[in-house]
Amino acid sequence: MTVIETKGITKVYNPKKVPVHALRGVDLTIRKGEFTAIVGPSGSGKTTLLNIIGGLDQASSGVVIVDGVDITRISDNKLIDFRKEKIGFVFQAYNLIPVLTAAENVEFIMLLQGISKDKRQKRVVELLKSVGIEDQADKRPSKLSGGQQQRVAVARALASKPSFVLADEPTANLDSKSTAQLLDIMAKLNQEEGMTFIFSTHDQRVIDRARRVVTLEDGMIISDVTR
Amino acid sequence: MQMMILLAWRNIWRNKRRTAITISSIFFAVLFSIFMLALQNGSWGRMIDNALSSYFGYGQIHKKGYYDDPGINTLMEYTSDWKGKSKNIEHLKDFVPRLESFAMASYGNQTKGVMINGIDPKKENALTKLSGKITEGKYLELNDTAVMIAEGLASQLKIGVGDTIVFISQGYHGVNSAGKYTVKGLLHFGPPDLNKMMVYMPLPEAQQFFGCENLISTLIIDIDDRSNLPGIIKKLKSQVEPDLHEVIEWEQLVPNLLAAKQAKLNGVYIFMLILYTIISFGIFGTILMMIKERSYEFGILIGIGMKRKLLSMVVMLEIILLGMAGVFAGVIAAIPLVNYFRVNPIDMSHMEKGLDNMFDQYGFEPVLPTAFDISTFVSQAIIVFVICLLLATFAVWKIYHVKPVESMKN
């Protein structure tokens, strides 16, 4: 089952002054349950591709179909709703809400979805347990290590029961131990719950664990290997 | 809603310094604006009180037509009925009778036009504190056949206490009026015009001089507090015979004073506008600081699915809470401040000599008190709070223009 389909995506920054072609016609299909790494050198267009797939940025041309919806044609308000319901985000810098505790960060997205308090709290406990930091639930992000924050970010990404999780350089700020723990958690969620993960990375440890590796260079896919 | 309040509340305490600066700027804005307005209202209230209590009173009763065409032939009877009326009306202290007309005054070879005021010395003193203006000689008694004259007039006529002054005028219904009186006292008036023309004579003597026994030109309304005036005027108007008498309020008696007050207040409003502008920039600075500090977070929140409208509401709630705290603190601090200067007015007599003279020239006390008026507190609190809300719309505008990717890059 296809979750994401991009057709001929291009992205040009500064089109009127000094055009920078970040993506040059990317066609990519992601199916449910994939564990995909998008790799490539800095400036190859990995993050831009992820942002466009996640509806955080707009393509200059082309089509992005997520769960059967062309997200390049929907309004800003509907796109926000779409992100909330369909996509889980894990960012390189964790991007947790600093004034909320770990549990509240996970709960926040469900609150936006209008889920009842009982269900929210039950799921928060489950998710924090699944990422192994249930004992840190009442701590704010500033009191957590980088690895712990990223695990909270993963729990938050999964809270809304999204169609897939987009992770932009999720291990870039983590040490080896935290990276291994995070990858174990995500691999487990992928295998046991069938959650689709798409990473952008140049971390070899992540690339080694991915079952599909899409390589970008100069805004184009130069290889797509499924292992 | 609960999460919105929680987010707003925690964001407020997230950067204590920013919160303190924002609340302080709102606090001082409210405090200054209340104090400035209270000082202006109080000073003008005192000046009006000074002007009215020194001569005109807060209202006057005349024979119908006197206000439009004042003259010695438009007089009203002064009977004991008026005393009964004053007792029936709450906050009305007394009626003070006066017989006012013009005459020529002469001493030696000097002649001068003067205004003769026939007065009941005790009642007049209760209203205008006239005895306090005596600079030489003694205050009048009701049965005296003497006069008190302004010292400027005495200087022009080269006359002193104990000398005899002669008056000639046209009396009631054209009778010839003439008489000579001993100068019993000299009076000092601040306004130069009054100081050159005022003559005070006991009422019975003045009535005899003008040939109008039991008649007066003006009955001045002496009241306990200006705020009670509208009620008193209303009752008086219902009690007097509309065909015989007219009740005139101070705004009609001294329109120049009212116009001067309005002109001065317009200046104050311009000053307040400048103050509000400075205040607005202060508050706007803290809002800008907040937006700059949190644009990254705004990008994340919108990125993960928080609608711009909801995020705007959280930020608005934060600014409303900060605004309420600052406004409340400002009002609380302003209460004792305004009250202190109401009881202990700023004394201008210790200032420059010229300033002191200026107050004396206009007949005003050289003090600037504040007015403790609830409407001043409420209006300034509302204005500053509305300024906060208006400035908060900039934050909302910014949220509606956040691009998640760009914000997160920053």
B319, B17 Cβ separation under 8 angstroms:
no
SS3 B166: strand
Please give the Cα distance from B76 to A77 (Å, whole number). Answer: 80
CA nearest neighbour of A175 among A198, A208, A156, A150:
A150
A36, A210 Cβ separation under 8 angstroms:
yes
Pairwise CB contact (< 8 Å): A81 & B10: no
CA nearest neighbour of B54 among B365, B405, B379, B371:
B365
Task: Mutate one of B1, B2, B304 to test the A interface: name it (highest A CB count within 10 A).
Answer: B304
* Residues of chain B contacting A160 with CB distance shorter than 8 Å: 305
The model's pLDDT over B111-159, given as tens digits with 9 standing for 90+, comes to: 999 999 999 999 999 988 899 999 999 999 999 999 999 999 999 999 9
Please give the Cα distance from B77 to B212 (Å, whole number). Answer: 9
Residue B17 has pLDDT above 70, yes or no: yes
Which ipTM did the prediction report?
0.89
Pairwise CB contact (< 8 Å): A77 & B307: yes
Candidates B10, B297, B304; nearest CB to A109: B304
Per-residue pLDDT 10s for chain A (227 aa) are 899 999 999 999 987 888 889 999 999 999 999 999 999 998 899 999 999 999 999 999 999 999 899 998 899 999 999 999 999 999 888 889 888 999 999 999 999 999 999 999 999 998 898 888 889 999 999 999 988 998 899 899 989 889 899 999 888 888 888 888 888 888 888 988 889 999 999 888 889 989 999 999 999 999 999 98
Q: What one-character-per-residue DSSP string does chain A give?
A: -EEEEEEEEEEEESSSSS-EEEEEEEEEEEETT-EEEEE-STTSSHHHHHHHHTTSS--SEEEEEETTEEGGGS-HHHHHHHHHHHEEEE-TT----TTS-HHHHHHHHHHHHT--HHHHHHHHHHHHHHTT-GGGTT--GGGS-HHHHHHHHHHHHHHT--SEEEEESTTTT--HHHHHHHHHHHHHHHHHH--EEEEEE--HHHHHH-SEEEEEETTEEEEEEE-
Residue B373 corresponds to which tokens in the numbers above?
């008026």
SS3 B79: coil
Residue B197 has pLDDT above 80, yes or no: yes
Give the pLDDT mean for B75-82: 84
Going by pLDDT thresholds of 50, 70 and 90, the confidence category of residue B46 is: confident
Helix (H) or strand (E) holding B27: helix B16-51
What amino acid is encoded at B384 in this protein?
Answer: V
Please give the Cα distance from A98 to B399 (Å, whole number). Answer: 18
Residue length, chain A? Answer: 227
The model's pLDDT over A10-55, given as tens digits with 9 standing for 90+, comes to: 999 987 888 889 999 999 999 999 999 999 998 899 999 999 999 9
SS (H, E, C) B216-256: ECEEEEEECCHHHHHHHHHHHHHHCCCCCEEEEEHHHHCHH
* Residues of chain A contacting B306 with CB distance shorter than 8 Å: 80, 84, 112
Going by pLDDT thresholds of 50, 70 and 90, the confidence category of residue B337 is: very high
Task: Mutate one of A14, A86, A95, A110 to test the B interface: name it (highest B CB count within 10 A).
Answer: A95
Going by pLDDT thresholds of 50, 70 and 90, the confidence category of residue B410 is: low
Which percentage of chain B shows pLDDT scores above 90?
Answer: 50
Residue B167 has pLDDT above 90, yes or no: yes
pLDDT of residue A152: 93
pLDDT of residue B228: 85
The model's pLDDT over B343-395, given as tens digits with 9 standing for 90+, comes to: 998 887 766 665 556 666 666 667 788 999 999 999 999 999 999 999 999 99
B44, B264 Cβ separation under 8 angstroms:
yes
* Residues of chain A contacting B405 with CB distance shorter than 8 Å: 51, 56-57
